[in-house]
Amino acid sequence: MNNSPPVFDIDLRIPLQEFELELQYSGSPKSLGVFGVSGSGKTTFLECLAGLRKFYSGRIAFEGEPWLESTKEIRVRPMYRNIGYVPQDYLLFPKSDVRSNLEAGKKRLLENGLNFGEVFENVTNTLELGALLDRKVELLSGGERQRVALGRALCSGPRLLLLDEPLASLDAKLRRRILSYLLKVRDAFRMPMVVVSHSPLELQTLCDEVLVVSEGKLIAQGPPNEVFAAGGVFELAKEGGFENVFTGKVREHLGRTDIVCISDQNESVCIRVPATGSEIGRKVICSIASDDPILSLQEPTGLSARNYLRGNVDSIFDSGSRILSRVSVLEGGPEMIVELTQDAVADLNLAVGSDVYVIFKTNSVRVLV
């Protein structure tokens, strides 16, 4: 039995102009996502974790250590929380070079008894910053600045990493590249992460658990694929770009397309995707929009769509303005949310337990990483 305290134990009340943000959460995910539309209170929550807000009350404990306890007048100052914080605008020192920015938190790291040389080397290798060390920040591209901001936070030796909309200001090509670096950081550095984003896709890729905030209230929490498909949340997630996200392994190159295995149980459960640019055997993360697949009761023939997967209907539910079906691909494949019309459900006589084929085009699949 594990008697360790949760990584996060939070009960906050924060007065804002339009509403009061109230958020209660206790859990120990490796990577926690916070989702909501603009103005819902996401960044405010992050600033409270960092200790940057003055007017808020309640309780924040991290790994059992109290950072805020209003009733006991405990309020730990930001510098003593040992947090790495990457805000939306990065807040780098523009006239300094990359090396100087990375060394900004050296003093704190040394005070915590860590070896700066080892951490610096690990960070620069993971984020591929070696070639940029002597370059002025003002000469960097947006993607390079994001990597430097992330590296600076990590070079301070934090216990917790906070990321505020880490991909919001980047174009699609750069988002894919930076997302791969964020995954490297998540896997290489042993520290919890909190990621704030209005993009379900980013949080599905990066996070174990997601909190959904709307008008200052926590309206849902849990694994991202479950939360974003829930009634009352899906419409918000759809507006933010919800897609089905799943992992796979590159099995074969076929010119402009690749074959990717998406099951750990059966290597024959594969799909054809646009060329990944990855080596054979390399793990990739892919996505497909919920309105792209179609369902069939019979094995398809004579279609231009290259992909079809055998599955079983786990549930059918109304999200508010759409009918959704949750389908589990057989033999260890992923779960998929498929949007349907009421007519389609009736005509196919779809029900929980129905055997179906999930059909979609190669170009409907996006390779995220």
CATH number at residue 210: 3.40.50.300
Q: Among 202, 224, 242, which residue terminates a domain? A: 242
Q: Are residues 121 and 203 in the same domain?
A: yes
Q: Among 242, 276, 303, which residue terminates a domain? A: 242
Helix axes of 172-188 and 142-154: crossing angle, nearest 10 degrees: 10
Number of domains in the chain: 2
Does any domain span residue 13? no
Residue 31, SS3 per DSSP: strand
Report pLDDT for 2: 66
Residue 36 and residue 42: Cα distance in Å, rounded?
7
Position 112: which residue type? Answer: N
Q: Are residues 163 and 226 in the same domain?
A: yes
Residue 236 and residue 42: Cα distance in Å, rounded?
14
The phi and psi torsions of 234 (rounded to 5 degrees) equal -60, -40
Q: Are residues 232 and 308 in the same domain?
A: no
Residue 229 and residue 234: Cα distance in Å, rounded?
5
Does any domain span residue 156? yes
Which pair of structure tokens corresponds to residue 245? Answer: 């996200």
Does any domain span residue 327? yes
Q: Are residues 268 and 341 in the same domain?
A: yes
CATH number at residue 357: 2.40.50.100
Report pLDDT for 289: 96
Residue 6 and residue 267: Cα distance in Å, rounded?
38
CB of 47 closer than 8 Å to CB of 224: no
Q: Are residues 163 and 192 in the same domain?
A: yes
Does any domain span residue 93? yes
Q: Are residues 253 and 199 in the same domain?
A: no
Q: Among 197, 227, 242, which residue terminates a domain? A: 242
Residue 362 and residue 285: Cα distance in Å, rounded?
15
Report pLDDT for 1: 56
Q: Are residues 201 and 273 in the same domain?
A: no
Report CA torsion sign: 109, 111, 114, 115.
Answer: positive
Does any domain span residue 16? no
Q: Are residues 321 and 349 in the same domain?
A: yes
Burial (CB count <10 Å: 0-12, 13-18, 19+), residue 182: buried
Strands 307-318 and 355-360: antiparallel
Report pLDDT for 91: 87
Does any domain span residue 48? no
Report pLDDT for 100: 96
Question: DSSP labels for 248-276?
Answer: EEEEEEETTEEEEE--SS-TT-EEEEE--
Does any domain span residue 8? no
Per-residue pLDDT of the chain (369 residues; tens, 9 = 90+): 567 899 999 999 998 888 899 999 999 999 999 999 888 889 999 999 999 988 889 999 999 999 999 999 999 999 999 999 999 888 899 889 999 999 999 999 999 899 999 999 999 999 999 999 999 999 999 899 999 999 999 999 999 999 999 998 888 888 888 999 999 999 999 899 999 999 999 999 999 999 999 988 999 999 999 999 987 899 999 999 999 999 999 999 999 999 999 999 999 999 999 999 999 999 999 999 999 999 999 999 999 999 999 999 999 998 878 899 999 999 999 999 999 999 999 999 999 999 999 999 999 999 999
Does any domain span residue 67? no
Q: Are residues 349 and 258 in the same domain?
A: yes
Range of the domain at 284: 244-368
Q: Are residues 89 and 237 in the same domain?
A: yes
Q: Are residues 151 and 231 in the same domain?
A: yes
Q: Are residues 159 and 105 in the same domain?
A: yes
Tell which residue, 86, 22, 87, 34, has the closest CA to residue 59. 22
